[in-house]
């Protein structure tokens, strides 16, 4: 049985959704961020970076959200959450997953933690403003791609990249122009959020509507 360390609505939300899609048995372990439990000596033995999530699969301890998602896709090919190896679809799946984690999520970190890049409140506000503008451009790029194919990132095929996009879009809900306001991206988020597995993941983390 898997063990997923989480905090409601954090980056663990994607592997949580993926776990629900696979039907595999798992245990959720809450890390109270307000009490800095993700920085505790016990947790740092699992994840030396002190970040969430971490997945335990028997003797395997794995962190980094995209890596966890890929591992679960490989462990449960019957769930069809990733295209077949060696195909062009699989290559595009990698492209989107890496783009979401390395580009969009990385800029989200800048938006939510601007103090890491500025020494003053004014500087932090400026960093946050620029990050939101960069993210708007990224969501526009995704919107344009969906216009060429859709409804999902790989066209008609649903993959683990789609709940990843839902999570990042959800994080933009406080923006001046959140991702849900883009027509095609909004429809993708709506479709993903309506999936029973995704609904179970939201409920399991105590997240109620509106989801994004």
CATH of the domain at 65: 3.40.30.10
Q: Is residue 129 part of a domain?
A: yes
Q: What is the pLDDT of residue 195?
A: 98
Q: What is the pLDDT of residue 147?
A: 75
Q: Is residue 92 part of a domain?
A: yes
Q: What is the pLDDT of residue 183?
A: 96
Q: What is the pLDDT of residue 150?
A: 75
pLDDT in tens, 88-117: 999 999 999 999 999 999 999 999 999 999
Name the domain boundary from 80, 107, 139: 80
How do 54-57 and 26-30 pair as beta strands? Answer: unpaired
pLDDT in tens, 158-203: 999 999 999 999 999 999 999 999 999 999 999 999 999 999 999 9
Name the domain boundary from 80, 102, 117: 80
Within its chain, how far is the Cα of 63 from the centroid?
A: 13
Q: What is the pLDDT of residue 160?
A: 98
Kindly state whether residues 20 and 93 are assigned to the same domain.
no
Kindly state whether residues 110 and 185 are assigned to the same domain.
yes
Kindly state whether residues 94 and 30 are assigned to the same domain.
no
For tokens 């000596």, what's the residue?
41
Q: Is residue 128 part of a domain?
A: yes
Q: Is residue 16 part of a domain?
A: yes
Q: Is residue 67 part of a domain?
A: yes
CATH of the domain at 119: 1.20.1050.10
Buried b (16+ CB within 10 A) or exposed e, 45-71: ebbeebbbbbbbbeeeebbbbbebbbb
pLDDT in tens, 142-156: 999 997 777 999 999
Residues above pLDDT 90, as percent of the chain: 98
Residues above pLDDT 70, as percent of the chain: 100
- Domains: count for the chain: 2
pTM, to two decimals: 0.95
Q: Is residue 112 part of a domain?
A: yes
Name the domain boundary from 80, 98, 122: 80
Kindly state whether residues 176 and 118 are assigned to the same domain.
yes
Kindly state whether residues 135 and 46 are assigned to the same domain.
no
Range of the domain at 156: 88-195
């Amino acid at each position: 049985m898997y063990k997923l360390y989480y905090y409601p609505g954090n980056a663990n939300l994607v592997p949580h959704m993926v776990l629900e899609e696979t039907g595999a048995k798992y245990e959720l372990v809450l890390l109270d961020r307000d009490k800095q439990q993700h920085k505790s000596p016990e947790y740092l033995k699992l994840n030396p970076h002190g970040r969430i999530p971490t997945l335990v699969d028997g003797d395997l301890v794995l962190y980094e959200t995209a890596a966890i998602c890929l591992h679960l896709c490989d462990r449960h090919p019957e769930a069809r959450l990733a295209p077949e190896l060696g195909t062009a679809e699989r290559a595009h799946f990698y492209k989107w997953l890496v783009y979401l984690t390395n580009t969009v999520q990385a800029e989200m970190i800048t938006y939510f933690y601007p103090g890491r890049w500025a020494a003053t409140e004014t500087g932090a506000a400026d960093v946050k403003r620029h990050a939101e503008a960069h993210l708007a451009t990224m969501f526009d790029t995704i919107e344009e791609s969906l216009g060429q194919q859709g409804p999902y990132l790989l066209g008609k095929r649903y993959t683990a990249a789609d709940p990843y996009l839902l999570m990042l879009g959800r994080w933009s809900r406080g923006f001046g122009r959140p991702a849900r306001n883009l027509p095609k991206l909004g429809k993708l988020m709506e479709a993903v959020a309506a999936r029973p597995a995704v609904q179970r993941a939201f409920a399991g983390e105590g997240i109620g509507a509106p989801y994004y």
